[in-house]
């Protein structure tokens, strides 16, 4: 298996990664993350509270369950999380411990995933790791990480507009949320004694509760169920056909969702994803939504639900949606949002990021097409290599050429095509392009000893500098031939060339001063 970094997943301060907290979308993502990536061979280190039930390779307990309860401002895990999101004592204690664990466990080149927003403390503690926001379903702020995964294309481009950003980034990705299909049974024929329309999410005005009440009042013969975290008192009694239910967790979610005739998702804000709308479709339940945000990606209008503009649209859509093909709805959702389908996308994202340890964007391996080598790493240097070969043949006229360093073979092949095979009197030429180790230096010094011998050396890296190399060669008894160095550099500049070659080239001999 190829060399890979570890992935370190920073959990959420106010939850435990188990099914009791499954109604928290971000906790659910952590819960499923390791299971999703496990078949792809990644080592996942998870930093979370209590006894995590995920399939991470390593669980690092940050707060015990008892400590979490003591620090939390909530009375139970089913209460709204808002009180703890900005609970400074809880967040600071959690983050401080995470930072210490990361310092002890990360290695340079590892990947650190920020699940619930970027943490500047975490980033500062792991400066040699790649920082990734691994599932952005929140509003990003200015301390964003360099590498980002958005839950939908709509959300990524909303952020681009918010930042007045006209240009894209190669290392901002779109990967949807992911689901364990075993948790969501397909229900082709709802078994509820009384058919119902379901809202399944946070109970708040921004999620469309006002609009749902208006729809319910215009469909008095249909039952509506409101299930989720939050205070329902503002809507209590406004429609007699609305039933309020407490949040449900784990396997208890599937029967409630799957037996709904329709799900309504009338979010007022630009929806980053809306997991409940996808969970409904996994069961075959059609969704009626507003017509902006991620719903344009998750709902196939007229096939898996309806995206609506006005109250009349919504009311009519709720009437019509039960006649949509639930089998098709489930098949589409399960094809797009399963752990297997989305896992392939995350695997590719993390490979792109891991490739930054090498040549990154300039690398030869195409991750999109299964890891094939798309081109020779130096093929773009062919015109430059040919001009070098012409110069060597015409000006140096060597009887033998030997290559040193990591990038010389490509140039040697071109030189070998042009130099005469019967030259018995010319100098010996050494060619070094790129890094060279200590053993090879001894070989260079041992083979090139006559005053007529030459070494063409190209400092490909920025450090040491060209002047550093000149000093180093002088200490070894070699000298730069300034005239030949300038002549070769000018020859290379006559056509397509790499700046590092022209700026870094030296022509040397072992005895001139």
Q: What is the pLDDT of residue 513?
A: 47
Instruction: Decide if 468 is inside a domain.
Output: yes
Q: Give me 309's structure tokens.
A: 């503009």
Same domain, 66 and 26: yes
Q: What is the pLDDT of residue 259?
A: 98
Give the range of the structural domain holding residue 267, as residue numbers without chain letter: 181-336
Supply the DSSP string of 412-425, one letter for each residue: HHHHHTTS-S---S
**How many other C-beta atoms are found inside a 10 Å radius of the C-beta of residue 4?**
17
Instruction: Decide if 161 is inside a domain.
Output: yes
Residue where a domain stops, chosen among 141, 174, 207? 174
Same domain, 141 and 164: yes
Q: Which residues of 189-199 are buried (b: 16+ CB within 10 A; e: fewer)?
A: ebebeeebbbb
Q: What is the pLDDT of residue 491?
A: 94
Q: Give me 176's structure tokens.
A: 């949807």
Same domain, 157 and 186: no
Q: In Å, how far are 261, 335, 408, 410, 454 from 414, measured between CA atoms?
A: 71, 50, 10, 7, 18
Instruction: Give the side-chain half-sphere CA count within 13 A for 133.
Output: 26
Rg of the Cα atoms in the chain: 31
Q: What is the pLDDT of residue 353?
A: 98
**Kind of pairing between the strands at 130-136 and 111-114:** parallel
Instruction: Decide if 368 is inside a domain.
Output: no
Q: Which H or E run contains 347? A: helix 339-354
Q: What is the pLDDT of residue 445?
A: 74
Same domain, 70 and 165: yes
Residue 114's domain is classified under what CATH number? 3.40.50
Instruction: Decide if 370 is inside a domain.
Output: no
Q: What is the pLDDT of residue 447?
A: 83
Q: What is the pLDDT of residue 473?
A: 87
Instruction: Decide if 428 is inside a domain.
Output: yes
* Dist. CA 98–CA 44, nearest whole Å: 15
Q: What is the pLDDT of residue 444?
A: 79
Same domain, 198 and 298: yes
* Dist. CA 373–CA 192, nearest whole Å: 55
Same domain, 148 and 201: no
Instruction: Decide if 204 is inside a domain.
Output: yes
Q: In Å, how far are 225, 256, 460 from 321, measured between CA atoms?
A: 16, 18, 64
Instruction: Decide if 345 is inside a domain.
Output: no
- Cite the DSSP H helix spans in 186-310: 209-218, 253-258, 275-282, 295-298
Same domain, 102 and 224: no
Residue where a domain stops, chosen among 336, 359, 390? 336
74, β-bridge pairs: none
Q: What is the pLDDT of residue 424?
A: 85
Q: What is the pTM of this model?
A: 0.85
Same domain, 194 and 156: no
Per-residue pLDDT of the chain (513 residues; tens, 9 = 90+): 568 999 999 999 999 999 888 888 999 999 999 999 999 999 999 999 999 999 999 999 999 999 999 999 987 656 778 789 889 999 999 999 999 999 999 999 999 999 999 999 999 999 999 999 999 999 987 678 999 999 999 999 999 999 898 999 999 999 999 999 999 999 999 999 999 999 999 999 999 999 999 999 999 999 999 999 999 999 999 999 999 999 998 899 999 999 999 999 999 999 999 999 999 999 999 999 999 999 999 999 999 999 999 999 999 999 999 999 999 999 999 999 999 999 999 999 999 999 999 989 999 999 999 999 999 888 889 999 999 999 999 999 999 999 887 778 889 999 999 998 888 889 999 999 877 766 677 777 788 888 899 999 998 777 888 888 899 888 888 899 999 999 999 999 999 999 999 999 999 998 644
Place of tokens 């949606």: 321
Residue 279's domain is classified under what CATH number? 3.40.50.2000
| Spatial contact of 335 and 341, defined as CB atoms under 8 Å apart | yes
* Dist. CA 129–CA 116, nearest whole Å: 18
Report how many domains make up the chain: 3
Cα three-residue angle 298-300-167, rounded to 5 degrees: 55
Same domain, 103 and 20: yes
Q: What is the pLDDT of residue 283?
A: 98
């Amino acid at each position: 298996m190829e060399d890979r970094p570890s992935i370190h997943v920073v959990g959420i301060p106010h939850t435990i990664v188990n099914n009791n907290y499954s109604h928290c979308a971000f906790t659910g993502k952590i819960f499923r993350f390791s299971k999703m990536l496990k078949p792809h061979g990644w080592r996942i280190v998870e930093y979370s509270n209590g006894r995590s039930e995920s399939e991470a390779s390593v669980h690092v307990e940050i707060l015990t369950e008892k400590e979490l309860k003591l620090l939390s401002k909530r009375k139970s895990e089913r209460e709204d999380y808002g009180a703890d999101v900005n609970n400074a004592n809880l967040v600071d204690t959690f983050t401080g411990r995470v930072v210490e664990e990361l310092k002890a466990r990360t290695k340079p080149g590892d990947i650190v995933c920020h699940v619930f927003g970027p943490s500047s403390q975490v980033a500062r503690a792991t400066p040699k790791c790649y920082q990734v926001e691994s599932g952005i379903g929140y509003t990003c702020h200015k301390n964003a990480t360099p590498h980002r995964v958005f839950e939908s294309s709509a959300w990524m481009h909303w952020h681009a507009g918010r930042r007045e950003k006209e240009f894209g980034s190669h290392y901002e990705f779109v990967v949807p949320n992911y689901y364990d299909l075993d948790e969501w049974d397909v229900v082709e024929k709802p078994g509820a004694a009384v058919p119902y329309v379901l809202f399944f999410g946070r109970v708040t005005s921004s999620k469309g509760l006002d609009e749902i009440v208006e729809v319910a009042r215009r469909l008095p013969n249909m039952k509506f169920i409101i299930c989720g975290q939050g205070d329902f008192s503002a809507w209590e009694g406004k429609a007699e056909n609305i039933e309020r239910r407490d949040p449900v967790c784990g396997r208890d979610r599937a029967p409630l969702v799957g037996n709904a005739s329709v799900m309504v998702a009338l979010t007022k804000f630009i929806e980053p994803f809306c997991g409940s709308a996808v969970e409904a479709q996994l069961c075959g339940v059609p969704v009626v939504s507003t017509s902006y945000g991620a719903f344009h990606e998750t709902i196939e209008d007229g096939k898996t639900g309806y995206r609506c503009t006005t109250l009349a649209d919504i009311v009519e859509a709720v009437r019509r949606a039960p006649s949509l093909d639930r089998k098709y709805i489930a098949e589409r959702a399960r094809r797009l949002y399963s752990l297997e389908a989305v896992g392939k996308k995350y695997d590719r994202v993390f490979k792109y990021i891991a490739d930054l340890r090498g040549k990154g964007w300039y690398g030869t391996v195409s991750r999109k097409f299964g890891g094939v080598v798309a081109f020779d790493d130096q093929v773009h240097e062919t015109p430059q290599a040919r001009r070098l070969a012409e110069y060597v043949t015409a000006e140096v006229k060597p009887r033998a050429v030997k290559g040193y360093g990591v990038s010389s073979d490509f140039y040697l092949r071109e030189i070998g095509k042009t130099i005469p095979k019967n030259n018995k009197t010319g100098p010996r030429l050494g060619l070094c392009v790129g890094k060279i180790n200590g053993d090879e230096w001894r070989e260079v010094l041992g083979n090139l000893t006559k005053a007529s011998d030459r070494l063409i050396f190209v400092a490909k890296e920025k450090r040491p500098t060209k002047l550093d190399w000149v000093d180093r060669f002088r200490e070894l008894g070699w000298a730069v031939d300034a005239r030949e160095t300038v002549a070769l550099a000018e020859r290379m500049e006559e056509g397509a060339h790499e700046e590092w070659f022209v700026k870094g080239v030296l022509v040397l001999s072992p005895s001139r001063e």
